[in-house]
Amino acid sequence: MVGIITIGMPIKDRIFCIDKTLASISSQTYPKNKIKIVFIDDQSNDGTYERLLQWKEQHEKEYLGIQILRAESKGYISILRNLCVSNMKGDIIFFWDSDTIAPDDNALSRMVQQLVGSDAVVVGFPGYRERPSVYEKILQAGTELGGLGFTAIKKLAFDKVGLFNEKLRVNEDTEFFSRVKVNGLKVIFDTRSPCTHLKPEMPLHSSMKNGVLEYLRRVKYCFSYVPLVYGECLRAGSKPHLLRILYYFALPPIIMLWIFDLLYPIFPVTLASLFLIAYILLNLSYHVWRAKRNRLFGIVAFAYHVPCGVAISYGYFVKLIGEVYGDVRRWMRKA
């Protein structure tokens, strides 16, 4: 039975790709008279908002409704997503990113059918660039890719776990999915139907130096911002996030103890080495196991994520110490 659904699209300055995205929406075979579309424009100033108004005028009679709202997120996309939810009709909201192209004309119908026909509350398809970077290939190797680029969510998920966390600028999807799983609800990401993630053309002469600098910025981001996301996940009761923090926090001390034992043997060197190897192999095996599409990228993913994981773990504890210090200072001022 075909039901009413809502397509929610936060959008800002996407004039370079909005026509392709809108054409992909128009091509879907899902009955248009059962679709409400909610565009939340984040103060675009490149002509995107005007293009949406034109498209609405051309297609409004085809759909159940087309709503265009303007809001100012100040970089917090979670605010825009919550506006989409508050204006939805039907029992399913379909988040479609403004730079994403559906894999085929039946993708929307297939996703809704998959969602309705299962006990899952979230079904999503991953999105890749036409020419993916090494980092994206690492992600493609995984068995489960989380994100809201092309994802359907049942309304009951929001009734059960609440809306998106407006404390987060980005990674609001990670924290939301964490709450969904903590509450015993099911999330499915089907890698068999990848979407096309449109991006402005990158210079072909990108150098190794630029790649290294980009990775260093990624590690810095993991230290400075991602701990906030992990903190929110921990408050929701996520055990996997706690295990990751503890694992990566222990890794540098174990390496330092191994080096110390080489210089000043306390335990047999072989025993210390075996312990370190076993600890590292645990993580390596996990990444290789996840990378069912390409085992080699499981090894690459391990090398890529270890520094990021350590940065997140130590960033979290620095953040925690800062919060405790702030609480103590406030207590002392009151005293």
Q: What is the structure's pLDDT at 144?
A: 47
- Which residues have CB under 8 Å from 242's CB, separation 6+? 234
Residue 169 has a CB neighbour count (10 Å cut-off) of 16
Q: What is the structure's pLDDT at 204?
A: 43
Structural contact between residues 248 and 227, judged by C-beta atoms closer than 8 angstroms: no
| 5-197 homologous superfamily | Spore Coat Polysaccharide Biosynthesis Protein SpsA; Chain A (3.90.550.10)
Task: Return per-residue pLDDT of the chain as tens, 335 residues.
Answer: 468 999 999 999 999 999 999 999 999 999 999 999 999 999 999 999 999 999 999 999 999 999 999 998 888 999 999 999 999 999 999 999 999 999 999 999 999 998 988 889 999 888 777 666 655 655 555 444 457 889 999 999 999 999 999 999 888 998 999 999 999 999 888 777 788 888 765 444 445 566 678 788 889 999 999 999 999 999 989 998 999 999 999 889 888 888 887 777 776 666 667 777 888 888 888 777 766 666 677 777 788 888 999 999 999 999 999 888 887 888 888 76
Structural contact between residues 107 and 92, judged by C-beta atoms closer than 8 angstroms: no
Structural contact between residues 8 and 95, judged by C-beta atoms closer than 8 angstroms: yes
Q: What is the structure's pLDDT at 148?
A: 82
Q: 73: part of which helix (H) or strand (E)?
A: none
Count of alpha carbons within 13 Å of 71, Cβ hemisphere only? 21
SS3 at position 283: helix
Range(s) within the chain of domains with CATH label 3.90.550.10? 5-197
Q: What is the structure's pLDDT at 55?
A: 96
* Alpha carbon distance 108, 296 (integer Å): 32
* Alpha carbon distance 46, 49 (integer Å): 8
* Alpha carbon distance 126, 133 (integer Å): 15
Q: What is the structure's pLDDT at 1?
A: 47
Q: 156: part of which helix (H) or strand (E)?
A: helix 155-161
Q: Which two tokens stand for residue 53?
A: 């108004």
* Alpha carbon distance 197, 160 (integer Å): 30
* Alpha carbon distance 261, 247 (integer Å): 21
Q: What is the structure's pLDDT at 139?
A: 56
Prediction pTM value: 0.83
Count of alpha carbons within 13 Å of 70, Cβ hemisphere only? 9
* Alpha carbon distance 254, 249 (integer Å): 9
Residue 266 has a CB neighbour count (10 Å cut-off) of 10
